[in-house]
Amino acid sequence: MAKGMGIDVAHTKIWAFLISGFFAGIAGALLGFNARLADPEAFTLGLSVDYLAMIIVGGLGSLTGPLLGSLFVTLLPEAIQRVAESFGIASLLSALREFTFGLLIIVFLIFEPRGLSALFGKLMFQRDARNRKKASYLNNSTQTTTRGGNEMKRLFRAATVAAVLLAAAPVKAAEITVCIWDL
C-alpha cells in the first residue's frame, strides 16, 4: 500500500532501522552509565520473555501497544506475587510467573492478535458511539460530541503515556533522579 502511494519502502525501512538502532544505543549507554557495568549476563532469557510479552500483549501494529503492554506486564508480576502471598503459595511464584506469561502470549495471539491497544480501541469506540447517540438524542448536535470524543481520546492517550512512564520504567524513579544529578 505504501508503494502504491509513492513511498520508497526500502528507503523507509532502512531509516526505521537506523533510528531504532540509534535509540537502542542511547538506551544501552544510559543503562551502562546507571548500572556502572555493562555485563551480558544482566540480560537473561526471562528478560527477553518479558520484552516479547510486552510487545505481543500490547499490540504489534501500534505505537501505544508496547506502552500498554509494558504497563500490563510490569504490573502483572506484582499482582501474581500478592495473590501468591495471600494464599501462602509463594514457593510456586517463579513457575507461576513464567506459566502466566506463556499463557498470556498464547491467549493474545489466538484471541486478540492486535493486543491491548486494539481492545482499548474497541472499548473506546463503543463508548464514544454510545455517548454520541445520547448526546445527539439530547442536543440534536453531533459536532459537539465529536469534539468531546476527540478530547477524551487525547486525554486517554496522555494518561496512558504518563502512567507507562511512571509505572513501567525499567529504572526506578529514584535511580533516574540520582542518574540525572550525577550528570
Report the candidate in 33, 41, 64, 25 with the shortest Cα–Cα distance to residue 176.
33
Query: Is residue 51 domain-shared with residue 101, that is, in the same domain?
Result: yes
Residues 49 and 99 in one domain: yes
Q: What is the dihedral of CA 30, 35, 40, 41, to 10 degrees?
A: -150
Same-domain status, 4 and 62: no
Residue 22: what pLDDT? Answer: 94
pTM assigned to the model: 0.53
Pair (97, 178) in one structural domain: yes
Looking at the fold, whether 74 and 95 belong to one and the same domain comes out as: yes
* Residue 87 shares a structural domain with residue 158: yes
| Region for residue 7 given its phi and psi (left: phi exceeds 0; alpha: psi -120 to 50; beta: otherwise) | beta
Q: Which domain holds residue 68?
A: 44-182
Residue 87 sits in the same domain as residue 149: yes
Domain total of the chain: 2
Q: Do 160 and 73 share a structural domain?
A: yes
| Predicted pLDDT at 50 | 82
Q: What is the pLDDT of residue 160?
A: 60
**Residues 51 and 15 grouped into a single domain:** no
| Cβ count within 10 A of residue 161 | 13
91 and 23 in a common domain: no
Return the pLDDT at 14.
Answer: 93
- Judge whether 58 and 39 are in contact, CB under 8 Å: no
**Do 102 and 147 have their domain in common?**
yes
| Separation of alpha carbons 61 and 121, rounded Å | 13
Same domain for 35 and 70, yes or no, is: no
Q: Mind listing the pLDDT tens digit of every residue in the chain (183 residues)?
A: 778 888 888 899 999 999 989 998 998 889 888 888 878 888 888 788 888 888 888 888 788 888 888 888 888 888 878 877 888 777 776 667 777 777 877 888 888 888 888 888 888 877 777 777 766 666 654 444 444 556 666 656 655 655 554 454 444 444 443 434 444
User: What pLDDT sits at residue 119?
Assistant: 84
